[in-house]
Structure 1
Amino acid sequence: MAFDPYDLDRDYGAPSGVITEAQYTTRTFLWMMLGLMVTFGVALVGWMTNATLYLFSAFPAIHLVILVVTMILSFSLTARIEKMSVASAQMMFLVFSALMGVTASTWLYLYQLTSIVFIFLATALYFGALAAYGHFTNRSLAGYKSILLSGLIFLILFGVLSLFIPGMTAFDSMISLFGIAIFLGYTAYDTQRIREFYYYYSGYPDMMEKASIFSALQLYMDFINLFLYLLRFLGKQRN
C-alpha cells in the first residue's frame, strides 16, 4: 500500500476500533501545536540570548543550510513515511520544528514584539475558524486542490523573482493578501483531509500514527505561512 498524500480516492475501510476519529483528529492538532511551541520556543530563546545574532554572524550561510535541511526533512516525511518508524517520523517533525525556530528567531529582530504577539493571536483565530469549517462541513473541498496548488506555485515563483527584481516589492501588499487567502484555503482543505487519512489507514495503527504526523506537518506549514503573510501585511517593523 503505497503512501500517496495527494490521492486518497478509494473505498474506505471500517475503522479499526483502536482509536476513534475524534481522538485521531485531536492527536494531529496536538502534534501541530507541539511543533509550533518548539518553533516559537527556540525563536524566543535565540532572540533573548542573542544566540541567533551570533549564529548568523559566525555562519553567514546558515540560513541556506537550514533551508536545505528543512526541505529534505519535509520531503522525507512525505516520500518515506511508510518505511520509517513512528519514532523516526516524530523525531524528524520535532527537528524540523526546531530548525524553523532558528529562522523564526530573526523575525523578532525585524518586527516589534507586540506586533508579533497580536498577529500570532490573529493567525490562531483565522486558522481556527477555517480548520473548524474544514472539519465540520459536509462539502468536499477536493475540487479546490488544483486552485490552491496553482496559487502556491505562483507565490513560490513570485518569491524567487523578487530576489532578482527589486521593483516587485511594490506588489508586496497585494501578494500578502493573496498568500493569506491561499493558506486560509489550505487550512480548511488539509483539515478535511485528516478524516480521509483516518479512514484510509483504518486497521494500520502504525501508519495512522505516521499519517497523523504528516497531517500535523501540513497544518503546521499552513499556520506558519498564514502567520508570515499576515506579518508582512500588518506587522510593524522595528525602527
Structure 2
Amino acid sequence: MQDQSYVESVKRTSIVQSFFSQVYGWMFFGLLSTGIIAYYTANSAFLLNLIFSSKITFYAFLFAPIVLVMIISGKINSLSASMASFLFFVYAAVNGVTLSAIFLVYTQDSIATTFVIAAGTFGATALFGYVTKKDLSKLGSILFMLLIGLIIASVVNMFLKNDTMMWVLTYAGIVIFVGLTAYDMQKLKELAYKIDEDENDIAKFAVLGALTLYLDFINLFLRLLQIFGKKR
C-alpha cells in the first residue's frame, strides 16, 4: 500500500511538473510573439496605416483579443489541445498589433526597463501564490469585483480625461493584478493536482493557464509602464 502511494505521488509530481513547464513555455512563447509583432508593426508604416487609419480595422483589432479570450476560456473543455494552442497564438499575435502603440509613445529603453520590473514583480508574486498555505479564494472574489470597477472607471475616464483619476486607476490596477497573479497561480496549482493524466487535457489546460498568467502579466506591465515609461 505504501509503495502504491509512493508511485501515485511520483506520478502526480510528474504531471504537475509537466503542466507548469507547458504553462510557462506557452506564456513565454505568447509574450515573445506579442513583443516581436508589436515591434515589427510599430516600424511598418504600411501596417500602422492599415490599423489606425480606419475605425473599423482599429476596433476589430481592439476587440478581437476579448473574443478570443472568451472562446478559449469558455470552450476549453471541447477544444483540442492543438486548437487551443492555435487560438492562443492568434490572440498573442493580435495583441501584439494593438500593443505596437507603446513603441510609438515610449522609448525602447524604458519599455525594456519596465518589462524587467514587471517580470520581477510577477515572478515574486506568482511564487508567493504557489507556496502560500493561505486560501486566496475570498481575495480572488474581491479582486474580480474590483477589476470590474476598474474597467468601468477606466472607460468613464476615457471621456473625462482626468489626470488624477488616471493615476489612481493606474496604482489600483497594479494592486489588483499583483493580487490576481497570486490568486491565479494558486488556482493553477490546485488544477495541476486534480487534472487527469491524459496528455491532451494537460496540454490544453496548460494553454488556458498560460493565457491567464499572460493576461495578468500584460496588464501589470502596461500599468507599470505608465509610471516608469519615458515618452518620446
Contact residue 89 and residue 210 of structure 1 kept, 8 A? yes
Look up the match of 2:119.
Answer: 124
Q: Give the secondary-structure state (helix, strand or coil) at the position aligned to 1:149.
A: helix
Q: Kindly tell me the number of residue pairs found equivalent between the two proteins.
A: 225
- The one of 30, 33, 36 equivalent to 1:35 is 30
Deviation of the 1:54 alpha carbon? 2.2
- The one of 54, 63, 81 equivalent to 1:59 is 54
Look up the match of 2:190.
Answer: 196
- The one of 34, 43, 48 equivalent to 1:48 is 43
Deviations 1:187-230 (CA, angstroms, capped at 9, x unpaired) = 11111111111123223432221111111101000000001111
Contact residue 15 and residue 202 of structure 1 kept, 8 A? no
- The one of 133, 141, 155 equivalent to 1:138 is 133
Alignment map for 1:1-239 (pairs within 5 Å): 19-166=14-161, 168-238=162-232
Q: Larger deviation: 187-196 or 19-28? A: 19-28
Contact residue 123 and residue 223 of structure 1 kept, 8 A? yes
**In 1, Cα distance between equivalents of 2:230 and 2:20:** 35
Q: Larger deviation: 94-103 or 135-144? A: 135-144
Deviations 1:141-197 (CA, angstroms, capped at 9, x unpaired) = 11211111011011100111112223x332222211110011011111111111111
TM-score (norm. length: structure 2): 0.90
Unaligned runs of at least 5 residues, structure 1? 1-12
Deviations 1:79-130 (CA, angstroms, capped at 9, x unpaired) = 1111111100000000000000001111100111111111011101100110
C-alpha RMSD over aligned residues? 1.9
**In 1, Cα distance between equivalents of 2:72 and 2:207:** 9
Contact residue 18 and residue 205 of structure 1 kept, 8 A? no
Contact residue 14 and residue 202 of structure 1 kept, 8 A? no
Q: Larger deviation: 113-122 or 51-60? A: 51-60
C-alpha distance 51-223 of structure 1, shift in aligned 2 (>3 A):
farther
**In 1, Cα distance between equivalents of 2:18 and 2:79:** 23
Deviations 1:34-89 (CA, angstroms, capped at 9, x unpaired) = 10000001011112333442223443332210122211111011111111111000
**In 2, Cα distance between equivalents of 1:205 and 1:199:** 14
The letter for the 2-side match of 1:169 is D
Unaligned runs of at least 5 residues, structure 2? 1-7
Q: Give the secondary-structure state (helix, strand or coil) at the position aligned to 1:20.
A: helix
C-alpha distance 202-112 of structure 1, shift in aligned 2 (>3 A):
same
C-alpha distance 195-18 of structure 1, shift in aligned 2 (>3 A):
closer
